[in-house]
Structure 1
């Protein structure tokens, strides 16, 4: 593996970063400014701690910068734009307070001193005046959506005429300025003196807010840095990095605008935080073992020009709706195929995503009927392999990846052919029966839905009547809270192990469930006969012991073996 050259990795502060004529640019298509009051409050509290403890400092995290190929004083901000922009806004708020002192001061000598302080701070933290326009421009240049407002309004202390007409991100920029200006006004020991205001900015903020500065040579190295940084927002940053790379391949403004529109549609569908996961499943249609941390490298390897970038965006847009729908049985995507949502709900319940590449490939290649049959197969295989037998999911992911590639190439053309290729991970009836006979699932939290699902399936098979999962309570025959009568038949270890065994659980109407509570087994058995649920009425043993519980569960396991069985077994 080639050695990564990280240049000038060092500890620095805001004052050093912004000084010495250096300029920082946010990539034109990087995310807009997005910090809100929660972020501002966190930063302000950190600054107040520094203000009240003169010997302290505060670590602000890592900045990832890419140095310009033409100037050693110009940098692209790969990661850190929100922090740098916000600190610059605080500097603007300090300068505004000094301007107010200038406006209010009657003594000419003090007025001139504050004017001079203001000019020095502007040159230090913003920039010198443009000799033609006599306006200040920032040492930090924001993205294309934020920079005009930032330069024209914030740096020049011009209140926008109509705040509501601004874009959301520009509203946030203005609100950030107002937030820090208001809080600065509450520091009575600072606000009355230009000298104190300067000290607050240059000493507290510029000197004692510390960063790790990491300079990288190119986008690929920047992505590698993201893999190793343990910081919030890493997925957003790596996604932005990929977006910037794709956009850099478009030369003409028309192509670029179309790519921007397409990217926005994809992100609006998939959502930014899920994009890396979505991209990995898509790339798994062509490559084996695509790791999350190599997504950017994989794209760089085969997307080299505008045409290939458009092809990638087209494909991502095509699959984006399917990706979201696979995690939501109520999605409009399934409107014309009402037979699919029950299986989508099972995938969601089982938390199965390893099959997504296979489902991606099959949706475009199989008929609607075959796609439904494939969904059913995936659910059955997942229930056996993951839920009941608790086997290693890594093998599943590898096989689904290979099957997806084969479907995409036209080498696998039917659900039966998929099953043939997944036969090695289809748990045998013998093992499934054995594992189900010992299955124990907690009835608390998210697992409770899984227990309801299993009991519904078992009851529907026993009675021939479909059951609403929300219509019953989960009855623990051996109760969770025990009386002395129950302790006669179960040891302490058995009590703990068996209370959530599937053989100890049964559906029961809520009023009957409340009636039996923690009563003894003979009383419960009598009430069970009043239930509409056949599974419950079938509980007829003279006493409830570890042996009778195990016997009942073996019977349920035999029923389960044919309920969750592949249609493609000969």
Structure 2
């Protein structure tokens, strides 16, 4: 971020709207969508500023603006908040107007109205009565804002878009709240507005272009601040279309496709999907370079239409890959996708996306084979060996691009290429022999259950429901041992308690009963267990110590090498 052209400052609402500055919600940004829930949250924050022992100010979060002249700004993130604050001011002006019309201190209330309008809304041309406002909304909302809200005209209730209804409802909601709070007194209303514009403040980030705005989004999102990089990309693509000239039907078609894509994925999942989609068709792009790459390649109306059509097509497939229960999948495919989700593995998604497009219609078995192979590789490479994923992702990307381009035509060719990501038996076995999972973590607990149930199936051919609450993970050396385990010091306990060799399957009742008991007491229960791998402990071990844990885990590693195997 060191070379990014942006400025950051804390500014109050009064400072934002001063000195002739103007703000515009880009034409293709999302419509106004706040509801009573958000209105009430903001209202409670405002009311708290007037408590008996009030906070001196209230932080409104980040506001991301784009400008090349520091006078006219596009609101890249924060339009819902800025629009709502403008509505609060307008609702107060409406009350002042009502008071003047009711002949309550009319001259002063009209002067207050015009001064507040000039400071925070803009002004009405004295001849045409057309508003010249500090804020302009997007293409769907600005007409309603300029024609009805700003001049305080009677608000229509029919023939409106849903977002225009929300603007109307917001205005009447806040007008009712302000009447009840500030009383119907012009002086009190003016004090109310004058106070909140100084007490509400933002962290304002101003950037020079879309690329810098996207970099800001990526940095802030990485720090847990959710911003609308999705909307930023939408605005860029739609502006490309609009700049070449487009009629309303084209824009409506694009809008419908975009809403369908985001509706399918959710706005937070969209950036992740976009990268997977892009990397399934082109050379691997890092997350931080994605927007720059897209902006470089998508510069014409035709290319913008093409990418949005493709995104629309691929979004459903991606959403299904993320949802193992989607009815698109067979039972075998569902199981593999559940495992990838459990493993927290996303690197293969580009290959899966490309493979599904390539094979799903003509040869669904090929996709299933590839999915199964990817699942086994993920278990070996990511879960057990815990190798770095950078090189793995590059290979997945290369395979995906060759699938999309037609260079790879068969599942056997894909499997041959996937071999580069497949840890050989000796490395997998040695990693498995040393593996530990702290089962205090819910994901680790799921993985351990999966491993133990697969070992059980391999040993006895019995299948159990690994999701069932009837079964538990048994730590042979207990997590909280009693005095019978005193021969193991604290260091040995911490090193071995979460090793795979120390874990078994038990029925929930017996597992609870034996708890932290001695090994001799546990053996009796192991002998009567329905699980073969648990009975095996009682049959083969008369004592339990680090050497026995290592020996058992060595046996488990040999079995695992046979279970999680691909014959290339």
* TM-score (normalizing by structure 1): 0.87
Q: Look up the match of 1:277.
A: 272
Whole-Å separation in 2 of the counterparts to 1:306 and 1:133: 37
| In 2: Cα distance, 1:243 partner to 1:37 partner | 27
SS of the aligned residue for 1:567 comes to: coil
In structure 1, the residue matched to 2:567 is 567
**2:449 aligned residue (448, 452, 461):** 452
- Offset of residue 443 of structure 1: 2.4
Task: Return closer, same or farther for 1:458/1:63 CA change in 2, 3 Å cut-off.
Answer: same
Q: Which residue of 2 aligns with 1:439?
A: 435
What are the equivalent positions in structure 2 for 1:142-153 lying under 5 Å apart? 142-153=137-148
| TM superposition shift of 1:79 | 2.5
2:332 is matched with: 339
| C-alpha distance after superposition, 1:126-148 (max 9, x if no partner) | 33335577575743222233334
Give a deviation string over 1:362-406, Cα, whole Å, max 9, x none: 222243112111111111111111111111122221221222222
Give CA deviations for 1:57-114 in whole Å, capped at 9, x if unaligned: 5554554434489xx86443223312221221121132233235435555xxx33211
Residue of 199, 222, 227 corresponding to 2:213? 222
Alpha-carbon displacement from aligned partner over 1:485-532 (angstroms, at most 9, x marks no partner):
1223x2222222222221221122223323333333223222222222
Match of 2:234 in 1: 243
Secondary structure of 1:124 counterpart: helix
Aligned partners of 1:66 and 1:217 also within 8 Å = yes
1:458 to partner: Cα distance: 0.6
Which moves more between the two structures, 385-394 or 44-53?
44-53
Alignment of 1:312-331 (within 5 A): 312-331=307-326
**Hey, what does 2:494 align to over in structure 1?**
496
Say if 1:137 and 1:155, in contact at 8 Å, map to a contact too: no
Q: Deviations over 1:209-228 (max 9, x none)?
A: 44455554443343344345
Confirm or deny: 8 A CA contact 2:95 2:184 kept in the other structure.
Answer: no
Report if the CA contact (8 A) 2:77-2:227 is conserved: no
Task: Say if 2:110 is the partner of 1:122.
Answer: no
Aligned-residue Cα RMSD (Å) equals: 3.2
TM-score, normalised to structure 2, is 0.87
> In terms of mean alpha carbon deviation, does 377-386 or 88-97 score higher?
88-97
Structure 2: gaps spanning 5 or more residues: none
Q: Is the 8 A contact 1:98 1:114 kept in 2?
A: yes
Q: Deviations over 1:404-449 (max 9, x none)?
A: 2222233333444334434343222112222212221122322211
Pairs within 5 Å for 1:99-498: 99-102=97-100, 110-129=105-124, 134=129, 138-157=133-152, 169-185=163-179, 187=181, 190-191=182-183, 193-202=185-194, 204-211=195-202, 213=204, 215-229=206-220, 236-250=227-241, 251-253=245-247, 254-334=249-329, 337-366=330-359, 367-444=363-440, 445-471=442-468, 472-488=471-487, 490-498=488-496
Question: What secondary structure sits across from 2:479 in the alignment?
Answer: coil
Aligned residue pairs total: 555
For 1:127 and 1:206, the matched residues in 2 are separated by 15
What is the CA–CA distance in structure 2 between the aligned matches of 1:364 and 1:104, rounded to whole Å? 68
Q: Partners of 2:201 and 2:563 in 1: how far apart? A: 61
Distance apart, 1:162 and its partner CA: 5.1
Aligned equivalents of 1:231 and 1:477: distance in 2?
40
SS in 1 for 2:322: coil
Query: Could you tell me whether the CA contact under 8 Å between 2:432 and 2:557 is conserved in 1?
Result: yes
Describe the SS at the equivalent of 1:29. coil
For 1:297 and 1:482, how far apart are their aligned partners in 2?
Answer: 56
Q: Which residue of 2 aligns with 1:24?
A: 23
Q: Distance in 1 between matches of 2:543 and 2:223?
A: 56
Instruction: Report deviation, 1:249.
Output: 2.8
